[in-house]
Every structure is written in C-alpha cells, then in structure tokens.
C-alpha cells in the first residue's frame, strides 16, 4: 500500500539524518588523515560500533533508495510494475553490496 | 528551458532533489563494491584510494558531497513541510538549504587540501 | 506589426491541431478573455471557448496563457503578454473537446474517487451542529473550502501530467476540508480513498497548485495534512 511505502521512505530518511551528518564528518577526518586501506581498516576492523553504524546506514539507504527510485521511475514512460520491480532490485542489490562492504571493513 | 508554469523556485528544488537522489542511487553500488575490495583485493583498493589525490577526483568528491548535502537538506525541508505545522517561509528555507549544501561541499573540498 | 495590435496564437483543433495566429487590436485594460471574445466575434466564429461570469468568480474561463494556467477574465493583457504576444491554449492535463474547451469530467471523477463528498451524520431532527470557527480543524477547513473547481491547480500539477490516475490537488484539497469537518461521517473511507498509488502520497510538494490558484488556496498544505492523517491511521491499524 502506498502509505506504508511512504512511511518507510520518510522513516528511513529520519533514521539517516544523523547518520549522514556523522558520515560526512567521518569522511572529512578520513580524507585529512590520508586515504589508504591501512588507515581505514585500522579504525574499522573489529569495531562493533562501526558495524552497527554502517550496517544501519546500509539498510536505511537500501530501503530509501529503492522506494525513491520506484517513485521516480513510476513517473517516467516506464510501466508501473517495472518501476516497482527495479526499485526492489536496487534495494536488494544495495543491501547485498553494502552488507559485503561493511563486512569487509569490520571483519 | 523550463516550461513556463514550472518557472518557480520550489519546482527547481524538486528537480535538484530528484536528480541528486538518482545520481546518489547510481553511485552507491559502485561505492560499496570499491569498499569490498578491502577484503578481496587490498592492493586494488589502495590503488583506487591513491587516485583520490588527483584534483579532478577531488572535484568529483566535492560534487558527491554537494549532491548528498542537497538531497539531505532538501529532504529535511520536505519532512518539515509534511510533518510540522505548515509554514509559509518555504522558499527561504529551500534557499538556505541550497546555500548550506554549497558550503558543506566547499568545506569538504578545502579540508581535503586542494 | 504596429504597437496597437496584439499577435495572438490560439489553439485550434482537439488533441490534434495547431496554433493559429490572429491580429487583435490592443485596448486599454483588456483581458485575455476580451481578446478571445473579440477573435470569435470579429474574425473566427468557429472558435470554441468557455466563460460565464467574466468577473473572476466562476472559474469557467480558465485556460493556458503563455504556458501558465490562468482565469482569462482576470488576466490583463498588459500583465501577461510578452512583447505584445499571447499564446492561448486549453487547460493542460485534460482532453480537449474543441479549441479552448476541455473535457472537465475526468477532473470531477477524481473528486468522486477521493471521496470528496460530504457524508452527513445528522438530519433535520437533530440540533444545528455547534462548530466553533476558532478551532484548528475548522480553521483548516475554512482555508480550503473556497475552491470553485476551475481546474487550474490540476493543469499546473506536474504529478497529474506524469501519473494520469493521480487524484490531483483540487480533489485532495476537498478531501482534506471534509476530514476537517467535524460533521462528516466518512473519515475512514476517505482516508482509504486517498491512500492508493495515485493518492496523496504521490504529491512531491512542487506547489505549482498553490502558485497558480486564483483563490490563494494551498492544496499542497492540505495534502500534507492528509499525509499526516493517513500515516497516523496506518500506524494505528485504522486504515
């Protein structure tokens, strides 16, 4: 139902609001310290905090992006069911790739 | 350029919001894949990260931060519009959102030592 | 072309057609409706168009003027003409019957589908309803009830253009005023009616509706109200 997608969309946006701010801050610090896999992994490996933080971020982004994509595509010449399917594909792809990335950084 | 009935600021902000959203959606899977290289191919990841010393890449990074800031602040404006008591200073808020986005992006660029 | 002649392009035809150019004498305080009327009377009796009150109360004369939906009787040529040129077309987002007259039935159907109908909970045996105009609900209703169904917001709305089923600003604004009416008894059905794929959640808050409404209504605000109500109802399991 449209209202549930709306709730998930706005809800995931609210969840991501503080996460985005922290992420931008983290990126500024990381870039300043010089980007290398050693630098990054040195901070993230074994960290429960970063696992939880970025795990939540990936989940929220996958949901938000999937529903957003569906909305945008539904207003294109594409048929409606295709818009929904592509949105779902994006969400699943983002969940999988994002989950892998978090695991790669935290394991 | 824009059809006459669309030539007002709030429509422009809609376009910015949608375009930034789509571009971020395109970027995200790429971003995740590169990060996963930390496990599968650390040398390749370091290769990618070394690329970021390039000025053009720094500009692209600034672009990404700008996109994220625009989408984020535009989204906050929408959340305020939809869930808080209706206020008519919409346009001012929208303009402020754009300005802050630009500053954030610039700040990122500067702190990255360009 | 002399400075006292206007160059006016008017849509002739239906879905298929073309703009035809007319030279119209410019007059002081002339409105776009005056221009259309002059063309039909003096140059082209076959031109089809609608009007009624011609004083900005009925909304019948709504058309696209230089790409923007307006009441033509309230559009002074001096204010809307661009370098002495006018382009006049039928309202956007509705099928064209002929020339400047469009088929409004789809617009009214959406009104129906949004449950834009008042459902009474009392009859003449009951006392008159006591409604305090100062209550927030009544104030919200009052802010939206001056809609005269002219179709301008529907023409201005890009979501209507991109999603043919979208109920649109006028129908949703009406639904909201009825949700704010304490006498109405169909709240649950109405919230369901506006919660489909083409319902209030499809609004992206461009606010073109508010920008062009000649009665200074704000359908986007009404739709935001519906979004809040439907979310609350859904979370409570009442939708």
Question: What are the tokens at C229?
Answer: 């109500």
Instruction: Please state, in angstroms and rounded to a whole number, the distance separating the CA atoms of residues C17 and B60.
Output: 47
Query: CA torsion angle for A30, A33, A39, A40 (degrees, to 10)?
Result: 0
Please report residues of C whose CB lies closer than 8 A to that of A75: 159, 162-163
pTM above 0.90, yes or no: yes
Query: Which range, A44-53, B79-88, C136-145, has the best average confidence (pLDDT)?
Result: C136-145
Q: Tell me what pLDDT residue A30 has.
A: 81
Which is nearest to B21 in space by CA: A87, C199, C231?
A87
Query: Looking at chain B, which subunits does it touch, using at least 3 CB pairs closer than 8 Å as the criterion?
Result: A, C
Whether residues C202 and A2 touch (CB distance < 8 A) is answered with yes
Q: Domain limits of chain C?
A: 5-102, 105-235
Contacts of residue B28, Cβ cutoff 8 Å, sequence gap at least 6:
A61, A65, A94, A98
- Subunits in contact with chain A (3 or more CB pairs closer than 8 Å): B, C
Most B CBs within 10 Å, among A35, A59, A103, to test the B interface: A35
- The predicted complex's ipTM stands at 0.90
Residue-wise pLDDT for C187-236, tens only, equals 999 999 999 999 999 999 999 999 999 999 999 999 999 999 999 999 99
Task: Please state, in angstroms and rounded to a whole number, the distance separating the CA atoms of residues B105 and B112.
Answer: 11
Q: Quote the pLDDT of residue B88.
A: 63
Instruction: Identify the CATH assignment for C5-102 out of 3.90.78.10, 3.40.50.1820, 1.10.10.60, 3.10.20.30.
Output: 3.10.20.30
Asked if A95 and A58 count as a contact pair (C-beta separation under 8 A), the reply is: yes
Angle between helix C219-235 and B55-83 (nearest 10): 80
Burial of residue C120 (CB within 10 Å: 0-12, 13-18, 19+) is exposed
Question: Which residues, 6+ apart, have CB-to-CB distance to C154 below 8 Å?
Answer: C91, C93, C94, C107, C110, C160, C168, C169, C170
Decide if A72 and B18 are in contact by the 8 Å CB cutoff: yes
The CATH number of the structural domain formed by C105-235 is: 1.10.1060.10
Of B68-77, C159-168, C214-223, least confident by mean pLDDT is B68-77
CB contact under 8 A, B40 and A104: yes
List Cβ neighbours of C230 (8 Å cut-off, separation of 6 or more). A3, A6, C191, C194, C195, C199, C200, C201, C239
- What's the rounded Cα separation, in Å, for the pair C70 and B91? 22
- Name the closest residue on chain A to residue B39, using Cα atoms: A104
CB atoms C231 and A6 under 8 Å? yes
Cβ atoms of residues C215 and C147 within 8 Å: yes
Q: For residue B77, what are its two tokens?
A: 């404006």
Dig out the tokens for C140 from the structure: 């919200």
Residue C92 pLDDT > 90: yes
Helices (H), chain C: 32-38, 77-80, 105-113, 136-142, 152-156, 158-162, 169-179, 187-193, 208-212, 219-235
Read off the DSSP letter of residue A1. -
Q: How far is A46 from chain B (nearest CA, A)?
A: 14
Nearest-CA distance C127 → chain B (Å): 33
**C47 pLDDT above the threshold of 70:** yes
pLDDT tier for residue B114 given thresholds of 50, 70 and 90: very low
Helix, strand, coil fractions of chain B, as percent rounded to 5: 85, 0, 15
Query: Which residues in chain A are closer than 8 Å to C188, comparing Cβ atoms?
Result: none
Question: In the complex, which subunits touch C with 3 or more CB pairs below 8 angstroms?
Answer: A, B
Q: Which of B3, B11, B83 sits opposite C206 (nearest CB)?
A: B11
* Domain-wise residue ranges, chain B: 8-24+54-111
Residue B17, CB-side half-sphere exposure with 13 Å CA sphere: 23
Query: Residue C148 and residue C143: Cα distance in Å, rounded?
Result: 13
Closest approach of A51 to chain B, Cα-based (Å): 14
pLDDT for residue B40: 76
pLDDT tier, C1 (very low <50, low <70, confident <90, very high otherwise): very low
Asked if the Cβ–Cβ distance from A3 to C230 is below 8 Å, we say yes
Q: Domain map of chain A by residue range? A: 46-106
Question: For residue C97, what pLDDT is reported?
Answer: 98
The C-alpha atoms of residue B45 and residue B64 are separated, in whole angstroms, by: 19
Pairwise CA distance, residues C194 & C167, whole Å: 8
Task: Please name every residue paired with C20 in a beta bridge, in sequence order, or none if there are none.
Answer: C10
Q: Does B86 touch chain C (CB under 8 A)?
A: yes
Verify whether the Cβ–Cβ distance C67 to B82 is below 8 Å: no
At CA B13, angle to CA A24 and CA A61, rounded to 5?
Answer: 40
Mean pLDDT across the stretch A37-54? 86
Q: How many helices (H) and strands (E) in chain C?
A: 10, 7
Of these ranges, A42-56, A92-106, B35-49, C61-75, the one predicted with the greatest mean pLDDT is: C61-75
Of B33, B61, B111, the CB nearest to A97: B33
What is the reported pLDDT for C175?
Answer: 98
**Would you state the torsion angle of the CA atoms of residues C38, C43, C48, C54, taken in this order, to the nearest 10 degrees?**
0
Residue C115 makes CB contacts below 8 A (sequence gap 6+) with: C175, C178, C186, C189, C190, C193, C194
DSSP state of C94: S
- Note whether A2 contacts C201, CB cutoff 8 Å: yes
What are the contacts of B74-80 at 24+ separation with CB within 8 A? B74/B13, B74/B16, B74/B17, B74/B20, B75/A13, B75/A17, B75/B17, B76/A17, B77/B13, B78/B17, B78/C205, B79/A10, B79/A13, B79/A14
What residues are paired with C19 via a beta bridge? Answer: C11
CB contact under 8 A, B108 and A24: yes
When the pLDDT of each residue in chain C is averaged and rounded to a whole number, the result is 96
Q: What is the pLDDT of residues C166-193, one digit of tens each?
A: 999 999 999 999 999 999 999 999 999 9
Question: What does the pLDDT look like over C116-159, one tens digit per residue?
Answer: 999 999 999 999 999 999 999 999 999 999 999 999 999 999 99
């Amino acid at each position: 139902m449209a209202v549930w997608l709306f709730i998930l969309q706005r809800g995931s946006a609210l969840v991501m609001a503080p996460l985005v701010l922290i992420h931008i801050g983290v990126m500024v610090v990381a870039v300043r310290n010089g980007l290398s896999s050693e630098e990054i992994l040195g901070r993230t490996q074994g960290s429960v905090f970063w696992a939880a933080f970025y795990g939540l971020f990936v989940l929220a982004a996958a949901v938000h992006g999937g529903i957003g994509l569906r909305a945008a595509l539904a207003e294109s010449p594409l048929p409606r069911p295709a818009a929904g399917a592509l949105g779902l594909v994006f969400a699943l792809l983002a969940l999988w790739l994002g989950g892998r990335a978090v695991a790669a950084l935290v394991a | 350029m824009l059809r006459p009935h669309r030539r007002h600021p709030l429509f422009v902000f809609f376009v910015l919001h949608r375009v930034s959203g789509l571009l971020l959606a395109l970027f995200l899977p790429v971003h995740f894949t590169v990060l996963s290289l930390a496990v599968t191919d650390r040398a390749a990841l370091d290769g990618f990260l070394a690329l970021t010393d390039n000025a053009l890449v720094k500009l692209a990074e600034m672009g990404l931060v700008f996109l994220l800031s625009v989408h984020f602040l535009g989204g906050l404006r929408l959340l305020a519009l939809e869930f808080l008591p209706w206020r008519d200073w919409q346009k001012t808020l929208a303009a402020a959102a754009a300005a802050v986005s630009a500053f954030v992006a610039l700040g990122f660029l500067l702190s990255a030592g360009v | 072309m002399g400075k006292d002649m206007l160059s006016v392009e008017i849509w002739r035809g239906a879905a298929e057609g073309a703009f035809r150019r007319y030279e119209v004498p410019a007059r002081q305080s002339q409105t776009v409706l005056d221009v259309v009327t002059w063309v039909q009377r003096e140059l082209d009796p076959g031109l089809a168009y609608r009007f009624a009150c011609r004083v900005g109360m009925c909304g019948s004369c709504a058309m696209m003027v230089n790409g923007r939906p307006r009441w033509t009787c309230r559009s002074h040529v001096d204010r809307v003409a661009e370098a002495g040129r006018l382009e006049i077309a039928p309202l956007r987002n509705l099928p064209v019957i002929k020339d400047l007259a469009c088929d409004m039935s789809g617009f009214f159907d959406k009104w129906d589908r949004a449950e834009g109908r008042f459902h009474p909970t009392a009859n003449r045996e009951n006392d008159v309803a006591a409604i305090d105009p100062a209550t927030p609900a009544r104030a919200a209703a009052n802010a939206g009830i001056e809609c005269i169904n002219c179709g301008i917001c529907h023409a201005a709305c890009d979501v209507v253009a991109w999603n043919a089923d979208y109920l649109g600003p006028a129908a949703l604004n009406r639904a909201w005023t009825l949700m704010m009416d304490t006498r109405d008894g169909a709240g649950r059905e109405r919230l369901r009616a506006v919660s489909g794929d083409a319902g209030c959640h499809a609004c992206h808050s461009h606010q073109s509706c508010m920008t062009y409404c000649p009665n200074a209504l704000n359908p986007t605000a009404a739709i935001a109200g519906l979004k809040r109500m439907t979310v609350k109802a859904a979370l409570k399991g009442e939708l």
